[in-house]
Structure 1
């Protein structure tokens, strides 16, 4: 006889109980019609088992339930007054960093890898030693488990492969890749030491401390006077924060610092053989930092360490429009109506990088005089009428507003024909030209005479020579002893603990140094 289901057993029990009740009422109840205690116990046991089965989810039900009950994935940082939790958090972070440090390759490990690559190469072409994939795997096996992440994945080989007809890879490129990965790990750990809250972001004062302790490790900065350190730190930090924190939150992600090119540019100063041209193009080099600060001192006519509107009017060729300078002081942080060095650095970074999205964001905020979130016809007229006054003062032929307005809107081709947004300027690729037309008489003149200048470039060369008349180093030599960086709060000169430079050990492997520098973070992911 087949085993009855719970439903069948329950139905039988109910029917038997009903029959027993009817028979009892008629006076003919007997043992055969009564519901036995054993039968009732069986039904009760089966009912309890069914209920238990209902509460035991199947695999599908368990998977679906995860969408209804999301596990906790965020824990708020403990309050600074909670000394015990803060101490536990700091200790956990320190041990995590210590463990990562032990897992990193050392200089001796890198020497071992280089020796293996030198021994295992299978061919040579144009004095470049090459390995194939079999050699690549063999090196990984001989190197050991510590190097497994660099040699076990075919993706590493595929990323570095450069269309060699025989499927080979230069050993110098592979070694440069390993060096670059190790350097990034070292730098990541070094930056995390300054992450005071352990949240993956650095506050401005945290990054200032990092740069300050990095200075002694950069040979190109050996000639800097101690009194200039705070100015250099301010200059370096402002570039990172201007581009990585355009919304001015006062913090940047460590991951963003690692991903941008600025850290490479900064650590390029480890090379004591940089040419004068390379130093001139490097924002973080001593000559460039001294030049920017020298210009600041030259503009500060009353020598009070701050810049007034009239003093900022002398920036560059002295052709900025007064209305634009007024807007700079309206929107940027000032102290009793004057600009400090930190604000000046933001201004310089915007002026020198007008094509960049962060700079265009800076300028749109200034040109949006009505705080509408875009540049309208009134804003264009508001700034161009000042350019017209300057043209008239210099005896230049007048240009009609309608012509300039049509030219600007034709260049930008905004989605809305009556307003220009930041997205419109970024999309059109002519945002820097539009900005120059509205804020700078020289920029307007260069645009108006672009065809003539293209036919006779000597006129433009003469203009550039006039701009470079002031000797940068002579200006920089006037850096005062024990100077300060205007009114900028904590500053970069505070005392910090000995966290190390975080930049990693440099390797004197000349054949791979160029490839090492050219590799981006995206190449290493």
Structure 2
């Protein structure tokens, strides 16, 4: 008989029941006492269930408060020791050289050109001799991942070694980045990443000629690009656009960006939705703007532009919102002496390109799934982009004629 049955019978059988009727709370208390007693006996004769709870390992540790200096220091030291241990688990240069020597020694003939190969049997032999640090790389899964079309069932030694090198480098980078995680929460804040990149600049040969006065611009640009595509430049152009040299861009200054053919309606939306200071845009906001326009095929960029086009904040684009932006394109066409284009034709073409689930609404996901998001957004916000799209067939024909002329010469 298990403890549940004992408990059921005990509760069902009155023992010295008092004359008065027990209250509901008293019955619950009695039930809990009996449950505790029989559960303890069932779990091995424990008299106190607290003893049982003590066997559960601790899984939550409260973060020390700012005024708990000693605990803060202890936590920082613990993290440093942990990262050092992780770093020691990685292959060093000597161990990588030894791995290359073993792979070369166990290559499996015949060679393909100058490419040394190794079969699975020799692959496992190298794994046994390479040491415990290399064990994670010598698995059937890794071998199968690198196995392509070799008729002997072998993999390239160079490809495998490069795979190991990349893994080691990625882990080294991860550990290096973790050192800048000041909060110790497993992520980098914008200021943390800025510190990392700033200290990285002197180690990058490509930036040897970069003046220190431009370090802050480079750091800001790199950080914004990371954050844009992971949540997801032209510094000189920003300075050229800033005509009054106040470090900010007004709507009029931003209108000269690129070919200077973006519509005022779209620029109005940029300044309505994006963070500005007294109606002007700072460098960080400008970088988000540039990254979105220069990478319109990317989901992060389309999300940025879609928010600007969704003037009613409904989560989709309808005929009204498309017409709202295209009217500005039509007005620019008149100003530049171009023949007007019917909105009805453009609207039908956009819906044909996107093929949304709802025939009257275009969602962000519809735009992404269509792989036409860059074309659609260009048509709606930039006269030059619309003209290029509208005359694409003539431009292609012209390019073909020019190519033919060059061939003739």
**TM-score normalised to the size of structure 1?**
0.65
Q: Distance in 1 between matches of 2:330 and 2:284?
A: 32
Q: Does 1:355 align with 2:297?
A: yes
**Deviation of the 1:236 alpha carbon:** 0.7
User: Residue 394 of structure 1: which of 314, 319, 336 is its match?
Assistant: 336
Q: Unpaired segments of 5 or more residues in structure 2?
A: 14-33, 45-55, 404-409
**Deviation of the 1:396 alpha carbon:** 0.5
User: Residue 434 of structure 1: which of 376, 382, 395 is its match?
Assistant: 376
Q: Distance in 2 between matches of 1:339 and 1:459?
A: 44
Whether the 8 Å CA contact 1:242–1:346 is kept in 2: the answer is yes
Q: Unpaired segments of 5 or more residues in structure 1?
A: 1-5, 15-47, 59-69, 247-288, 462-525
Note closer, same or farther for the CA distance 1:111–1:418 as it changes in structure 2 (3 Å cut): same
Whether the 8 Å CA contact 1:77–1:197 is kept in 2: the answer is no
Q: Does 1:96 align with 2:96?
A: no
User: Residue 417 of structure 1: which of 359, 367, 370 is its match?
Assistant: 359
Q: Does 1:368 align with 2:310?
A: yes
Q: Distance in 2 between matches of 1:79 and 1:438?
A: 51
Structure 2 counterpart of 1:195: 181
Structure 1 counterpart of 2:159: 173
Q: Distance in 2 between matches of 1:424 and 1:188?
A: 35
Residue by residue over 1:330-389, the C-alpha shift from the partner in whole angstroms, topping out at 9 and shown as x without a partner, is: 111111111111111111110111111111110111111122222222211211111111
Note closer, same or farther for the CA distance 1:166–1:326 as it changes in structure 2 (3 Å cut): same
Residue by residue over 1:309-340, the C-alpha shift from the partner in whole angstroms, topping out at 9 and shown as x without a partner, is: 11111111110001111111111111111111
Structure 2 counterpart of 1:145: 132
Residue by residue over 1:97-153, the C-alpha shift from the partner in whole angstroms, topping out at 9 and shown as x without a partner, is: 0111111111111111111122221322212111112211221222222322222x2
Residue by residue over 1:160-196, the C-alpha shift from the partner in whole angstroms, topping out at 9 and shown as x without a partner, is: 1123111112211111111111101101100110111
Q: Distance in 2 between matches of 1:54 and 1:196?
A: 46
User: Residue 196 of structure 2: which of 189, 194, 210 is its match?
Assistant: 210
**Deviation of the 1:419 alpha carbon:** 2.2
Structure 2 counterpart of 1:404: 346
Q: Distance in 1 between matches of 2:332 and 2:38?
A: 88
Alignment: residue pair count: 362
Note closer, same or farther for the CA distance 1:383–1:174 as it changes in structure 2 (3 Å cut): same
Q: Does 1:333 align with 2:275?
A: yes
Structure 1 counterpart of 2:256: 314
Q: Distance in 2 between matches of 1:379 and 1:365?
A: 12
Residue by residue over 1:264-319, the C-alpha shift from the partner in whole angstroms, topping out at 9 and shown as x without a partner, is: xxxxxxxxxxxxxxxxxxxxxxxxx4xx1111122112222211111111111110
Structure 2 counterpart of 1:255: none
**Deviation of the 1:81 alpha carbon:** 2.7
Moved >4 Å (runs of 4+): 51-55, 70-76, 458-461
**Deviation of the 1:399 alpha carbon:** 1.3
Q: Distance in 2 between matches of 1:438 and 1:213?
A: 42
Q: Of the two, which has the highest radius of gyration?
A: 1
Note closer, same or farther for the CA distance 1:125–1:205 as it changes in structure 2 (3 Å cut): same
Matches within 5 A, 1:76-155: 76-123=62-109, 124-151=111-138, 153-155=139-141
Q: Distance in 2 between matches of 1:77 and 1:170?
A: 48
Q: Distance in 1 between matches of 2:368 and 2:129?
A: 51
SS of the residue 1:456 aligns to: helix
Q: Distance in 2 between matches of 1:102 and 1:361?
A: 42
User: Residue 457 of structure 1: which of 396, 399, 403 is its match?
Assistant: 399
Whether the 8 Å CA contact 1:194–1:209 is kept in 2: the answer is yes
Q: Which has the higher contact order (CA 8 A, sep 6+)?
A: 1
Structure 2 counterpart of 1:25: none
Whether the 8 Å CA contact 1:453–1:460 is kept in 2: the answer is no
Whether the 8 Å CA contact 1:161–1:168 is kept in 2: the answer is yes
Q: Distance in 2 between matches of 1:406 and 1:294?
A: 40
Q: Does 1:231 align with 2:217?
A: yes
Structure 2 counterpart of 1:323: 265
Structure 2 counterpart of 1:186: 172
**TM-score normalised to the size of structure 2?**
0.82
Q: Does 1:380 align with 2:322?
A: yes
Whether the 8 Å CA contact 1:453–1:459 is kept in 2: the answer is no
SS of the residue 2:188 aligns to: strand
Q: Over aligned residue pairs, what C-alpha RMSD do you find?
A: 2.7
Residue by residue over 1:458-511, the C-alpha shift from the partner in whole angstroms, topping out at 9 and shown as x without a partner, is: 7999xxxxxxxxxxxxxxxxxxxxxxxxxxxxxxxxxxxxxxxxxxxxxxxxxx
Q: Distance in 1 between matches of 2:245 and 2:400?
A: 37
Note closer, same or farther for the CA distance 1:77–1:377 as it changes in structure 2 (3 Å cut): farther
Matches within 5 A, 1:210-289: 210-246=196-232, 289=233
